[in-house]
Amino acid sequence: MPRSRARARPPPVETWAPISTVSSEKKKLRFAPSPTGALHIGGARTALYNWLLARGSGGSLVLRIEDTDRERSTGENVEQILDALRWLELDWDEGPLSQHERADRHGERLRELLDADKAYHSLATAETVKAQKAQSNLGFRGEPVAPGTEGAAVRLRVPEGTTIVHDEIRGDISFDNSVHDDPVIARGDGSVLYNFAVAIDDLDMGITDVVRGDDHLSNTPKQVIVMEQLGETPPRYAHLPLLHGPDGKKLSKRHGAASVQELASAGYLPAAVRNYLALLGWGAADDQTLLSTDELVRQFSIERVGRSSAIFDEKKLRWINGRYMRELPLEEYERRFAEQLSRADPAAAEAFAAGDAERRRAALQIAQEKAQTLDDVWPLVRFLFEDPPNDEKAWRKVMKDGTRPLLEDAAAALREADPFEPASIEASLAPILAARGVKPGQLYQPIRVAISGGAVSPGIFESLAVLGRDSAVSRIDRAVTRLR
């Protein structure tokens, strides 16, 4: 597993953690996205944190789709979210559950509230509410109408007093009920709204910890009131700071590489993405940067989650991903690369597949330490599977006046190199340096351009070896001809 340098870790210090953190209380969490679009990295991070907490406590994770708004919820969007979670390799124990399908149960609880006069029917529209709010800053209270009145919505009766949300990250936050509107919890057609459904579902499913984005913080008192009016005890809450785009605004589809799908198609590795996402808002106690998923599960705790919003930084993700690339077992590396290539460039994938297995593996190996993402690999090795591209700029830069005899020497030496392996290739090429009185770069760069077409490739000796004697010599001969 990648870890930040084998620096000496301090010896384990005896610590006396409070009982609550050492106890093995099993948590039950939920990830509850609304299917209104692709899963972006903010949602992905929320999913990851919930997953880490569930796994770390030996508890469980529920996947619940918040689809009470039928208009905006599409099966396509649900699939996209499921795909994203699968790609991230985050699994769940229950679900996916459709919130919408629990309408009967929601209706049941709604009637309870109505019967106890904790909620009432109201005809007030958004306009009337707004009009009243323009006069005073007090919360809106509706005029109850008879049950069964055509088109009447149901409003929750907000009690007097203060609602306190106990937040694991921010501490106690109190809301003055008098400024809260009586929220609509069911539409005129009887269907319930999000803030009501969530409260019921979290209760019914026995959720112990609700971990979600900060954008829900203002919703929480409404949900807590619903639960309290029902005589129930709310779960623990933790509101994560939002992830912002480079413009400092809440992350949304408008921002660049923001969705999980995009990270996947950009050639990142799921494990690296998990590592990076974990670090966006949380830090290991010992400042470790590279943590395997196992280590994350073991170390992650809500107490160490920060309170301020963070900005997605792709540069760091790239760096982390590069570290994971280098640690990748060859088999997995090969599998992921092949999948990625066939998605990104079918023609290239065909060319790659046409190479024999040994060459494919060798190519991937010599490119491994140079690639930061799966997408970086193909440009480095394509010359082993296709005719090299013609990079005129690279050609002009390295093919100087005295280059031709050097390449002729190189071709001759390569004809003799035996076996045709990196060490012996180097041994046969190196004497040319002294004989011609040139520096390594003056010989090796022209060879590189001749065989790979460009100025960047894996190590030249490895590249020649994998290419094979015949192709290597003929490509060099071709360059010699062109230099004539």
From candidates 31, 51, 120, 194, binder to RNA by CB under 7 A:
194
Q: How far is the CB of 377 from RNA (least distance, A)?
A: 12
Strand partners, 60: 28
From candidates 3, 105, 133, 415, binder to RNA by CB under 7 A:
133
Start-end of H helices in 286-421:
293-299, 314-327, 330-344, 346-354, 357-368, 374-381, 392-398, 403-416
Residues 80-99 that bind RNA (CB under 7 A): 99
Residue 188 burial (C-beta neighbours within 10 Å; 0-12, 13-18, 19+): middle
Q: Give the range of 80-88, 332-340, 356-364, 454-462 binding RNA by CB under 7 A.
A: 454-462
CA 425 vs. chain centroid, Å, equals: 43
Contact 46, 14 (CB under 8 A): no
Terminal-residue alpha carbon distance, the chain: 52
From candidates 60, 229, 299, 445, binder to RNA by CB under 7 A:
445
Residues with catalytic annotation?
A: 253
Of 327 and 342, CB closest to RNA = 327
Distance CA 88, CA 5 (A): 25
CA 366 vs. chain centroid, Å, equals: 28
Residues 322-351 that bind RNA (CB under 7 A): 322-323, 326
Q: How far is the CB of 373 from RNA (least distance, A)?
A: 11
Of the candidates 405, 404, 406, 411, the one whose C-alpha atom is nearest the C-alpha of residue 482 is 404
Of 326 and 342, CB closest to RNA = 326
From candidates 74, 177, 289, 301, binder to RNA by CB under 7 A:
289
Q: Assess 283 for contact with RNA (CB under 7 A).
A: yes
From candidates 86, 111, 253, 307, binder to RNA by CB under 7 A:
307
Q: Assess 440 for contact with RNA (CB under 7 A).
A: yes
| CA count, 13 A, side-chain hemisphere, 188 | 10
Q: Give the range of 90-98, 201-209, 246-254, 467-475 binding RNA by CB under 7 A.
A: 246-254
From candidates 68, 208, 293, 340, binder to RNA by CB under 7 A:
68
Q: How many residues lie near RNA (CB under 7 A)?
A: 87
Of 67 and 209, CB closest to RNA = 67
Q: Give the range of 54-62, 124-132, 264-272, 473-481 binding RNA by CB under 7 A.
A: 124-132
Q: Which long-range contacts (CB under 8 A, 24 or more apart) does 264-269 make?
A: 264/84, 264/87, 265/343, 265/344, 266/373, 266/375, 267/340, 267/344, 267/373, 267/374, 267/375, 267/376, 268/317, 268/321, 268/373, 268/374, 269/321, 269/324, 269/325, 269/328, 269/336, 269/373, 269/374
From candidates 242, 269, 272, 296, binder to RNA by CB under 7 A:
242
State the sign of the Cα–Cα–Cα–Cα dihedral 430, 431, 436, 438: positive
Of 59 and 379, CB closest to RNA = 379
From candidates 153, 207, 296, 377, binder to RNA by CB under 7 A:
153
Q: Assess 126 for contact with RNA (CB under 7 A).
A: yes
Residues 380-439 that bind RNA (CB under 7 A): none
Of 6 and 357, CB closest to RNA = 6
State the amino acid at position 322 in one-letter form.
G
